[in-house]
Amino acid sequence: MKVLLAEDNYQMLEFMYQCVPWEEHGLEVTARCATGMEAWTSAREDMPDMVITDISMPGMDGLELIEKVRAVNPALESIIITCHDDFEYARKALRLYVGDYILKETLEPGMLLETVQQLKKKLEEQQADRTHIDALQTFVEYSKKPLKKEWIHSFLHGTEERSDVLSLSFDTSRYVPAAGRFIDAQEEGAESIVEAASRLALEEENGDYVIASPGEMYWFFPYNRAMTAEEVSMQLTKIQRYVQRETGQSLVFVTGEHAGSWEELRTSLEQMTPSVGGWFYITEPGVFTMDQLTLKSGHEDIFMHYTTALYDLKKVITEEDAQAAENWLQSWMNEIRDKAWHPEQVKSWIHKILIDIDLKYQSLQHYSDKPSSVLYSEIHALRHIGELEAYLRAYVQQKMTLAAHLRESSDRREIWEAKKYVETHLGQKITMEGAANHLHLNPSHFSRIFKQETGETFVEYTTKKKMEQAAHDLLYTNHTVDDIALSIGYDNTSYFAKLFRKFSGVPPKQYRKDK
């Protein structure tokens, strides 16, 4: 328990300090000050539980000092030690709830010690009462938590009209709603820190909060002259700082329009819940408005870029080019941020690209290291574009490492290099002689070992890969059959159509129509 002494008479100040064995009684004198201003400065740096002060001091008297400290610490106890035996001073002291008023002429060491002990006991009782009340409040809030969580989900789905578990009254106030979440995924239990910060932020206000999960949190601030939109932002920032200090993690908030009824509140919340797409593009802590959640519209479908993105990614992985892979990643992340496509479209697009990459490596290593459903769950669990970027970077690095492993472990490295050559030259005319020259092998020798290792000729393998690419383009692009034929190295569309029918059983146009 901390004590501040203030007295402009040095001898009297030392006498007060020596009168009481402070440490023996569980007390710490944080400062001995000769002026009221010095005492006030000290109090702001290290807030005392008890102030023992003279009344008459230069600059700021003892009563003003007590008043200022009590404004910050309402539980403050104080003792006035003075020469003034004056009713007016006594009346002011009583108004400030001064614990005792002692005349210097009658002061004895035992008297000060006894008075200090009485106030210490009073402080301890008050602290015990506050602890008990806090424990009850915590228990009540803990009991309410599942009810609040159930209510917010029902309310947002329109099955609940109002709440008996929230301390909101639209008869007396309008409310500013705010939604928030941790920027990065958190373990269960992290929300307890947010609850503590929320209680502090709303303890003086007629508001409430719902902490449904680390990814879904809501606050309701009364909207009045004192609690403006700017003040709401300040209170949310305080919560952010508290949580950052306690956990090292960051929160992001979005504030909505103030509401004067339950229906208006639901409308505002529906536009700002953490499931709204705009949250995906927020990667830094802060307080945002609903306008900043609005996604751009009118852009082309992201799937129009599917074939190009897939081809380029396959190429950089096959070539094991780390810098080209990073360039690919940065280029597409910038494009996604700029166009601000809906995150579900982005995730589906990425999922399909990675599935096609996985299918290629499944055929090379004859097993799948991750089922499609797992890949889907991982991608759709990503909370923001920063997590998506990190996930893609790790995925591409893993696939390049796998490509290097397959190349190094291949019984015939020439076969791996030949397949790599086909993958990276699908848009050109590929001949067996050209591939053999690329590998510095005799064409006849190359043809023989390729058939021995793969069970098919090089021409058959090349045609199969080109037809697979054509089938993909027929399904996922609007390109004409002529354009698709040219894109994989066939300038004779009729010949391409003949090869494709042999590959799929139907002509290209029929394949597109049927699928």
Q: Whose CA is closest to 201, among 158, 228, 236, 230?
A: 236
Residue entry with tokens 């090349």: 462
pLDDT value of position 478: 85
**What are the sequence ranges of the domains in the chain?**
2-127, 166-293, 296-403, 410-515
The sign of the dihedral angle between the CA atoms of 157, 160, 164, 170 is positive
β 216-223/208-213 pair status: antiparallel
pLDDT value of position 217: 93
Q: Mean pLDDT per segment of 10 residues, for the chain of length 515 residues? A: 92 90 92 93 93 88 89 88 62 62 76 88 83 64 78 85 81 92 78 86 82 90 84 92 89 92 92 85 92 74 89 88 94 93 93 86 56 84 93 93 75 79 89 90 89 89 92 87 93 93 92 85
Residue ranges of E strands in 129-215: 174-182, 208-213
Q: Which CATH superfamily is domain 2-127 in?
A: Response regulator (3.40.50.2300)
CA dihedral 70, 75, 79, 82 (to 10 degrees): 10
Distance CA 257, CA 313 (A): 44
Distance CA 133, CA 130 (A): 5
β 2-6/50-53 pair status: parallel
β 286-289/208-213 pair status: unpaired
Domains 2-127 and 166-293 share a fold: no
pLDDT value of position 96: 59
Q: Is 211 helix (H, G, I), strand (E, B) or coil?
A: strand
CB 245 within 8 A of CB 213: no
CB 258 within 8 A of CB 223: yes
Q: Name which CATH class applies to 166-293.
A: alpha beta
Distance CA 233, CA 222 (A): 13
β 251-255/286-289 pair status: parallel
The DSSP bridge partners found for residue 253 are 180, 287
Query: What tokens were used for 300?
Result: 């082309």
CATH number corresponding to 410-515: 1.10.10.60
Q: Looking at the whole model, is its pTM more than 0.85?
A: no
Q: Whose CA is closest to 104, among 19, 27, 36, 3?
A: 19
Q: Is 185 helix (H, G, I), strand (E, B) or coil?
A: coil
DSSP for 350-381, written as a single string: HHHHHHHHHHHHHHHHSS-SS-HHHHHHHHHT
Residue entry with tokens 């536009």: 271
Distance CA 1, CA 327 (A): 61
CB 3 within 8 A of CB 27: yes
pLDDT value of position 385: 94
Q: Whose CA is closest to 203, among 222, 224, 188, 228?
A: 222
